[in-house]
Amino acid sequence: MATSAPPLSPPAVHLRPLTPLDFLERSAYVFPEKAAVVDGDVRRTYPELRDRVYRLATVLQAMGVRDGERVAVLAPNASAILEAHFAVPLAGGILCALNIRLTVGEIDYILEHCGASVLIYDADFDEFVKELKPRARCIRVGAPGEEYEKLLAAADPTKLHKAEPDEDATLSINYTSGTTGRPKGVMYTYRGAFVNALAEIFHAGMRPESVYLWTLPMFHCNGWIFPYAVTAAGATHVCLRKVDPKKIFELIETEKVTHLCGAPTVWISLANDPSARPFPHRIHITTAGAPPSPTIIKQMEALGAEMTHVYGLTETYGPITVCQWKSPQWDGSSDGERARLKSRQGVAMLTMDARDVRVVDSNLNDVPADGKTHGEIVMRGNNVMKGYYADPEATAKAFAGGWFHSGDVAVMQSDGYIEIVDRAKDVIISGGENISTIQVEKVLVSHEAVLECAVVAMPDPKWGEVPKAYVTLKPGRELTAEALIAFAREHLPGFKTPKAIEFGPLPKTSTGKIQKFILREREWAGREKRVN
């Protein structure tokens, strides 16, 4: 006698995979008349953004994208890269947003390593793309009526096949800068992006009425997940193709911008630009990428900004800690003390366990919370990458002992706040004494004529190595190396005072980070070892 098949188990009512794609669906439903995107003269509502995302996803599936196929994007902060953040995973693909400042050789390596089958690129990169080794099918984004817009217009979004995502599946691959070798592909998950977006909304204080200006590249850690955070809040994205201080001040006024993100070098350029003027309303700035000096914090707050300092790496979706302001106990602090407190890296963000960001010794033991003992920052949890793409050896090394090793040297303050001393490779050991380059840099930029600086080790026959400063002065200002060294000596012990100063522009990444490795190479060129 035949037996009937057992009934199928119903889906779990209390579970749904966490995916940042749901944020767009919700905002299109809740805010149908609201401006989602402002890109030059173009304004689109959330339903219009959702329709374009569905059309692009349909185009990608028609090109064979699904089941984890990688789709690369080479574009500035414009509509296309924002749309790709949703459309690529919606089609079942994995997004690879490319750093637009890299060389042809570096982009070729990344495209080959990730195995991208499609490349979406902005028309500004026509000549650049011609030099790439042909391997991916290309979609060119240009003026209205050109290829990208024609493809979207012809697409039938009803033919899109939507699969229920696995929240632990790879959403995107972000390549590191590769300053110590070939860049590594950092894998983000749907769950990690969802959770990180919620933390960003909370710590930045975003609301549906917020207006976010894209001063941070969307290719950098997927814009610290703000493409998803801004959309989740139902706020407005204002696209900006490149950092232009004059344009930023204009957009803050005309678009009523409320939120910005970026590295300290962005705020240095704003505060010292001839067009600088007090903001017409309160602006919230989230800054990371390098420890902001108390000087720039004070300058930006004087313009009317509220600054939140966060810390993280590509491997942590961008920010993973925040210098959480404590009110009312810190509210009465002097300007200098307020800026000093805000320049620390802080504590784990909202969606992290407070115990999952630590400062440890070489045996993974917590260092004393004395503000003096050096250790490495390690972390684990939802905001940590899934691993390095196609690189199990590097992944195992980074996750040694069950923690992600940042390579950043820090102290734990008595109040439980982390404060970075340096990158491990940036600490100067002079005559057996450790020198924090960050400490020296903070002193130098406090001089009224100094715009920004970087301190590295230079070889010394007696002490092994000593600090040297590379300095950029503010426009129209003059200063001698002797005068600046004398100024530093007033605030630092003799062994920490720079022994040499060199003036000029500083080498930087596309996200504004100063490339100290270039300066170190300059100092140690021709030597077999980088220690003396």
**pLDDT tops 70 at residue 199:** yes
Confidence at 326, pLDDT banded by 50, 70, 90: very high
Angle (nearest 5°) at CA 358 between 352 and 363: 140
Looking at the chain, the whole-number percentage of residues with pLDDT higher than 70 is: 96
Flag the least confident range among 22-31, 90-99, 491-500. Answer: 491-500
Q: Determine the Cα–Cα distance for residues 266 and 215; give it in Å rounded to an integer.
A: 8
User: Cα–Cα distance between 59 and 62 in angstroms, integer?
Assistant: 5
pLDDT of residue 181: 62
pLDDT at 432: 64
Q: Which two tokens stand for residue 295?
A: 């000087």
Determine the average pLDDT of the residues in 391-402. Answer: 97
Could you tell me whether strands 236-238 and 464-473 are parallel, antiparallel, or unpaired per DSSP bridges?
unpaired
Adjacent-strand bridge partners of 242: none
Number of Cβ within 10 Å of residue 402's Cβ equals 8
Does the pLDDT value for residue 89 go beyond 50?
Answer: yes
Q: Assign residue 451 a region: left if phi > 0, alpha if psi is -120 to 50, beta otherwise?
A: alpha
The residue assigned the tokens 């007033």 is: 490
Q: Cβ(449)–Cβ(479) under 8 Å? A: yes
Per-residue model confidence (pLDDT) at position 163? 84
Buried b (16+ CB within 10 A) or exposed e, 437-459: bbbbbbbbbbbeebbbbbbbbbb
Q: Is 428 exposed, middle or buried (0-12, 13-18, 19+ CB in 10 A)?
A: buried
Task: Give me the phi and psi of 471, to 5 degrees please.
Answer: -130, 135
What's the pLDDT score for residue 144?
77
79-83: long-range pairs with CB below 8 Å, 24+: 79/37, 79/39, 79/42, 79/44, 79/52, 79/239, 80/120, 80/122, 80/141, 80/148, 81/218, 81/219, 82/37, 82/49, 82/218, 82/227, 82/237, 82/239, 83/49, 83/52, 83/53, 83/56
Q: What is the pLDDT of residue 436?
A: 82
Q: What single string gives the DSSP state of each residue in 27-56?
A: HHHH-TTSEEEEETTEEEEHHHHHHHHHHH
Instruction: Give the mean model confidence (pLDDT) for residues 48-54.
Output: 98
For residue 477, what are the CA distances in angstroms to 393, 480, 498?
50, 10, 20
The total of other beta-carbon atoms located within 10 Å of residue 384's CB is 26
**E strands of 16-136, at which residues?**
35-39, 42-45, 70-74, 94-97, 118-122
Residue 290 CA to residue 506 CA, distance in Å, equals 14
Lowest-confidence pick of 96-110, 344-358, 420-434, 506-520 = 420-434
Residue 434 scores a pLDDT above 80 = no
515 versus 251: the higher-pLDDT residue is 251
Average pLDDT rounded to a whole number, residues 155-170: 94
Is 430 a residue whose pLDDT tops 50?
Answer: yes
Whether 473 has a pLDDT exceeding 80, the answer reads yes
Contact 164, 145 (CB under 8 A): no
Quick check: 10 pLDDT over 90?
no
Q: What are the residue ranges spanned by the domains of the chain?
A: 427-524
Task: Please report the pLDDT score of residue 527 as a whole number.
Answer: 72
Distance (Å, whole) CA 123 – CA 7: 55
Residue 178: predicted pLDDT: 53
Distance CA(412)–CA(394), nearest Å, equals 27
> What letters, b where the CB count within 10 A reaches 16 and e where it falls short, cover 227-266?
bbbbbbbbbbbbbbbebebeebbebbeeeebbbbbbbbbb
Total number of residues shown for the chain? 532
CA–CA dist 491, 444 (Å, integer): 9
pLDDT at 315 over 90: yes
pLDDT of residue 293: 81
Tell which wins on pLDDT, 4 or 31.
31
Mean pLDDT (the chain) is 92
User: Would strands 450-460 and 464-473 be described as parallel, antiparallel, or unpaired?
Assistant: antiparallel
pLDDT of 180 reads 47
Least confident of 36-45, 379-388, 421-430, 523-532: 523-532
Q: How many other C-beta atoms can be found within 10 angstroms of the C-beta atom of residue 515?
A: 15
Kindly state the percentage of the chain with pLDDT values over 90: 77
- Residue 427, number of CB atoms within 10 A of its CB: 16
Strands 418-423 and 450-460: unpaired
Read off the pLDDT band of 5 (50, 70, 90): low
pLDDT interval class at 171 (50, 70, 90): very high
Instruction: For residue 524, name the pLDDT band (cuts at 50, 70, 90).
Output: confident
Residue 510, pLDDT above cutoff 70: no
The mean-pLDDT minimum among 65-69, 458-462, 463-467, 525-529 falls in: 525-529
User: Residue 9 and residue 262: Cα distance in Å, rounded?
Assistant: 48
What fold, for 427-524? GMP Synthetase; Chain A, domain 3 (3.30.300)
> Mean per-residue pLDDT for 437-466?
91
Query: Computed over its alpha carbons, how large is the radius of gyration of the chain?
Result: 24
Place of tokens 């070798």: 181
Least confident stretch, 295-309, 370-384, 470-484, 501-515:
501-515
